[in-house]
């Protein structure tokens, strides 16, 4: 997958430069708030929290640290979802499914608060993991008003693909995992950008080798 120069300019604009402009005390407070949310998420729903962490690691091997940080927090809104739904061993009922989907708005709400304090676009990037996703039948895109931002479009696509891949190979409480090669084939059917599946394959191998 080819990152454009606009992508690198956006990393610079959204990342390092803005980071230096904020009040360090507020930035540290915001960081502490995020660490607390993350800690609570691991306490409440460890399986879901580890999934988020793995997606963050994988995105970090493909993109930049801001995108990895957002990916690590992309499911943090599940803090607002009933544990019975999060840990259900049965396929979710339509009502439960709708409730589960709401975690994306909670993610956006929880993360939006820190954006002015050194974490620009954090909520937008994190929530893009699930925004407008119709993984099985439609191409993965980033269709809201930011569709012309090449950085966010790439982040959304990589995050969605890494999220889907992790769910394939680790399963869900109600859904068994599938084999690595089969998961890659399923990703190829998602009409994602050329080369991204190979990057996911390589980064997964690298990641699992380095933690083994």
What residues make contact with Fe ion under the rule CB under 5 A? Answer: 75, 163
- At closest approach, how far in Å is the CB of 99 from Fe ion? 16
* Closest of 21, 111, 143, 9 to residue 64, by C-alpha: 9
Of 129 and 197, the one with the shorter C-beta distance to Fe ion is 129
- At closest approach, how far in Å is the CB of 104 from Fe ion? 10
For the chain, give percent helix, strand, coil, nearest 5: 70, 0, 30
Of 10 and 190, the one with the shorter C-beta distance to Fe ion is 190
**Residue sitting closest to Fe ion (CB):** 163
- At closest approach, how far in Å is the CB of 183 from Fe ion? 15
- At closest approach, how far in Å is the CB of 71 from Fe ion? 9
Of 10 and 129, the one with the shorter C-beta distance to Fe ion is 129
* Closest of 62, 61, 41 to residue 196, by C-alpha: 62
Of 6 and 141, the one with the shorter C-beta distance to Fe ion is 141
Of 28 and 47, the one with the shorter C-beta distance to Fe ion is 47
Paired tokens of 22: 């904020």
Q: 67 in helix, strand or coil?
A: helix
CA distance 71 to 127: 9
Q: Between the CA of residue 29 and those of 16, 20, 69, 173, 209, what are the distances in Å?
A: 18, 15, 16, 34, 35
Of 64 and 75, the one with the shorter C-beta distance to Fe ion is 75
Query: Are 108 and 81 spatial neighbours (Cβ–Cβ below 8 Å)?
Result: no
- At closest approach, how far in Å is the CB of 130 from Fe ion? 7
- At closest approach, how far in Å is the CB of 201 from Fe ion? 19
DSSP sequence for 145-182 = TTTT-HHHHHHHHHHHHHHHHHHHHH-BTTB----HHH
């Amino acid at each position: 997958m080819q990152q454009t120069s606009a992508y690198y300019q956006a990393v610079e604009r959204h990342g390092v430069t803005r980071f230096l402009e904020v009040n360090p005390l507020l930035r540290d407070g915001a960081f502490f708030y995020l660490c607390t949310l993350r800690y609570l998420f691991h306490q409440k729903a460890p399986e879901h929290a580890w999934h988020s962490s793995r997606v963050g690691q994988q995105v970090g091997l493909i993109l930049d640290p801001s995108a990895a940080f957002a990916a690590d927090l992309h499911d943090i809104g599940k803090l607002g979802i009933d544990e019975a739904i999060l840990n259900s061993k049965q396929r979710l009922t339509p009502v439960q499914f709708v409730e589960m989907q709401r975690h994306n708005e909670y993610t956006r709400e929880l993360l939006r608060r820190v954006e002015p304090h050194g974490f620009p676009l954090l909520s937008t990037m994190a929530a893009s993991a699930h925004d407008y996703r119709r993984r099985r039948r439609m191409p993965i895109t980033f269709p809201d008003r930011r569709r012309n931002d090449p950085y966010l479009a790439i982040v959304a696509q990589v995050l969605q693909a890494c999220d889907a891949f992790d769910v394939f190979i680790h399963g869900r409480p109600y859904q068994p995992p599938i084999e690595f090669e089969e998961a890659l084939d399923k990703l190829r059917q998602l009409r994602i950008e050329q080369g991204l599946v190979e990057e996911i394959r390589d980064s997964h191998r690298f990641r699992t080798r380095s933690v083994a």
